């Protein structure tokens, strides 16, 4: 018995000194290729260091309330009662997009409210980005009053369509949001689950707009191309990993 144990231990020690295999080389190459293809065609809209590629909607403010902190585009609300220029405002992409897949991460402060607004037309006759742009709501559902209003909760197509299922994470945690636009089809995804799907500009869509708070805003939700804005609603909010893939 002692001899058998000794032989077994010797065999174990010998095998432990053999080089460890890390898998087939072709498998590694395939995994690397898959990872590269995953991000193929995506363009970063935020470099994590500056506000390059962004401006304040309508150039109404100097934008100083939007700061880059720890790799996130962060709104620091102003406490000033008066100012020649608003320090915040809706921060807006310089570029215009039509068919695309937008992805980003957001985190909201306690009791906070913001939004991802898209299809935005930046013209003098439209005082705010939401006069034309649709909004995917960003909200603390528990502490903000909008959390008590149907179609105003996080992930909703604001004031138009409620989430099929609420997947928002608690305040202080990052949420991953996606907006996919392909011609008249619109899809909203929150934390990996599709929460809103709809078809724009058909009879049902027009009736829905007519029954919303935007009914008296000519041009709301009617444009096929537009800017993307991140809303200054007066509350601290964080956005990062903002990227887009044109379709």
In a domain, 38, yes or no: no
Task: Give pLDDT tens digits for 8-53.
Answer: 434 444 344 444 445 566 666 655 545 555 668 999 999 999 999 9
pLDDT of 16: 42
Helix H or strand E segment including 100: strand 100-108
- Residue 89, pLDDT > 80, answer yes
Closest CA to 136 of 167, 177, 184: 177
In a domain, 34, yes or no: no
In a domain, 29, yes or no: no
Calculate ∠ Cα 86-178-244, nearest 5°: 75
- Residue 174, pLDDT > 70, answer yes
Give the SS3 label for residue 36.
Answer: helix
β-partners of residue 86 are 61
Task: Give pLDDT tens digits for 126-146.
Answer: 999 999 999 999 999 999 999
In a domain, 111, yes or no: yes
pLDDT of 206: 97
Q: Which residues contact 125 (CB under 8 A, 6 or more apart)?
A: none
- Do 233 and 128 touch, CB atoms closer than 8 A? no
* 139-152 as b/e: b if 16+ CB within 10 A: bbbeebebbeeebb
Domain extent at residue 238: 44-246
- Residue 113, pLDDT > 80, answer yes
pLDDT of 142: 97
In a domain, 31, yes or no: no
- Residue 2, pLDDT > 50, answer no
Tell me 169's DSSP state. Answer: P
pLDDT of 46: 98
Tell me 196's DSSP state. Answer: E
pLDDT of 12: 42
Indicate if the alpha-carbon torsion angle 67, 232, 51, 238 is positive or negative: positive
Least confident of 7-21, 56-70, 93-107, 231-245: 7-21
pLDDT of 61: 72
The enclosing domain of 108 has a CATH number of 2.60.120.560
Q: Which comes out higher in pLDDT, residue 203 or 82?
A: 203
Q: How many domains, the chain?
A: 1
pLDDT of 79: 57
Encoding tokens for residue 7? 């032989």
- Residue 164, pLDDT > 60, answer yes
In a domain, 4, yes or no: no
Q: What pLDDT band is residue 62 in, cutting at 50, 70 and 90?
A: confident
pLDDT of 26: 66
Encoding tokens for residue 22? 């890390």
Tell me 152's DSSP state. Answer: -
Q: What region does 70 belong to: left with phi over 0, alpha with psi -120 to 50, or beta?
A: left
pLDDT of 186: 98
E-strand spans in 109-184?
Answer: 113-120, 134-139, 175-182
In a domain, 36, yes or no: no
- Residue 65, pLDDT > 70, answer yes
Please provide the average confidence, as pLDDT, over all residues in the chain.
87
Task: Give pLDDT tens digits for 184-193.
Answer: 999 999 999 9
In a domain, 13, yes or no: no
* 74-101 as b/e: b if 16+ CB within 10 A: bbebeeeeeeeebbbbbbbbeeebeebb
């Amino acid at each position: 018995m002692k001899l058998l144990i000794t032989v077994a231990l010797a065999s174990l020690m010998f095998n432990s000194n053999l080089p460890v295999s890390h898998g087939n080389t072709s498998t590694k190459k395939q995994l690397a290729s898959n990872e590269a293809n995953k991000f193929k065609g995506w363009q970063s809209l935020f470099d994590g260091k500056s506000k390059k590629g962004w401006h304040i909607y309508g150039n109404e403010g100097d934008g100083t309330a939007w700061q880059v902190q720890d790799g996130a585009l962060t709104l620091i609300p102003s406490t000033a009662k008066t100012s020649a220029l608003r320090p915040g405002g809706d921060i807006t992409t310089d570029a215009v997009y039509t068919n695309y897949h937008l992805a980003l991460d957001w985190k909201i402060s306690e009791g906070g409210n913001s939004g991802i607004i898209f299809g935005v037309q930046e013209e003098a006759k439209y005082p705010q980005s939401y006069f034309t742009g649709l909004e995917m709501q960003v909200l603390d559902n528990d502490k903000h009053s909008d959390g008590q209003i149907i179609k105003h909760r996080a992930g909703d197509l604001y004031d138009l369509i409620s989430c099929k299922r609420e997947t928002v994470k608690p305040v202080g945690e990052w949420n991953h949001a996606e907006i996919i636009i392909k011609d008249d089809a619109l899809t909203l995804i929150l934390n990996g689950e599709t929460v809103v799907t709809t078809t724009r500009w058909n009879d049902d869509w027009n009736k829905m707009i007519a029954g919303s708070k935007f009914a008296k805003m000519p041009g709301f939700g009617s444009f096929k191309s537009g800017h993307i804005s991140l809303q200054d609603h007066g509350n601290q909010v964080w956005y990062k990993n903002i990227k887009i893939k044109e379709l």
